[in-house]
Amino acid sequence: MLSDDQLRKYKQNGHLTVPAVFDQHMIGVALADLEAWSRDFLARLSDDEREWYLERGDATGTLPRKMDQPVYHRPAFQQMAASSPLVAMVEQLIGPGVTVVFSQVFCKPPRVGGPKPVHQDNFYFGPDDPESAVTAWIALDDATVENGCLCYAGGSHRGPILPHVAPPEEPFNLQIPMEKLQGVAMTPALVSSGGVSFHHGTTWHQSASNTSSRPRRAAAFHYLQNEASLVEPALEYDMSMAVKITPDGQS
């Protein structure tokens, strides 16, 4: 459970990092599942798709930079999303009764893992109640400044959801326009493997390139309180892949 002090910090900053939500056994199981999924995923892609999913210059070619819906597709991630300690924290943040409306794994291979520009998840998902959405970002590897941890603009969840733009060749890479970023401080959130960094759906966040010799792998579970819905999503989300978390911790 989150303490009153942690809840106060989340309310004030729009993000909160909690160490050791998952033990190293669970993280090992998730990484093994991720490796098996990556092999299978890459084997099914055309050459053009492989090029898109692998970072430029990735000589190993074994780690897609992103895969969607781990909670729907993969048992280890479904187990994590429904785990009682995580769900209890999520429910403290957005209220009882939650669904994972979308989930992703983000991988930054050593030295070549690229950045993710500043954005707000609530622009992507367009919920009717912006307070009803929280992302639980789970560090599978230790996330540091060098390997591209998340960085947040503290307090930005109290501002509006801004229009986003996308580079012409990357229509899905929605981001806050550069001119809005002048003078905005982005604070790194260091998270050890097994820890979770929670962020409010409206909080501005980004991640930098991985300049280290270690991978940075993470899973993001986007939870929505069950009474809310995605009324104005910027992209198409397949709600048949949403995973409702039931009270007994099963999904």
Characterize 216-235 residue by residue with b for buried, 16 or more Cβ atoms within 10 angstroms of its Cβ, and e for exposed: bbbbbbbbbbeebbbeebbe
Q: Is 155 left (phi over 0), alpha (psi -120 to 50) or beta?
A: left
Which is closer to ligand AKG, CB of 44 or CB of 56? 56
Q: Whole-number minimum distance, CB 179 to ligand AKG, in Å?
A: 21
Q: What's the min distance (Å) between Cβ of 135 and ligand AKG? A: 5
Cβ atoms of 21 and 89 closer than 8 Å: yes
In whole angstroms, the minimum distance from the beta carbon of 4 to ligand AKG comes to: 26
Q: Where are the beta strands (DSSP E) in the chain?
A: 15-18, 66-68, 98-108, 116-119, 133-139, 150-152, 187-188, 196-200, 205-207, 216-225, 243-244
Cβ nearer to ligand AKG, comparing 236 with 248:
236
Q: Which is nearer to ligand AKG, 112 or 220 (CB)?
A: 220
Decide whether 137 or 223 has the Cβ nearer to ligand AKG: 137
Tokens representing 125 are 């998902």
**Least Å distance between CB 174 and ligand AKG?**
10
Yes or no: say if 186 and 117 are a contact pair by the CB < 8 Å rule: no
Comparison of 33 and 108: residue with beta carbon closer to ligand AKG:
108
Residue 173 tokens, joined: 């890479």
- Nearest 5°: the CA angle 234, 54, 146 is 90
For residue 249, the 8-state DSSP code is S
* Residue 116 CB, nearest approach to ligand AKG (Å): 4
CB-nearer residue toward ligand AKG: 79 or 206 = 206
Residues that bind ligand AKG (CB under 6 A): 106, 116, 121, 135, 137, 205, 207, 218, 220
Cβ atoms of 249 and 83 closer than 8 Å:
yes
Least separation in angstroms between CB 104 and ligand AKG: 7
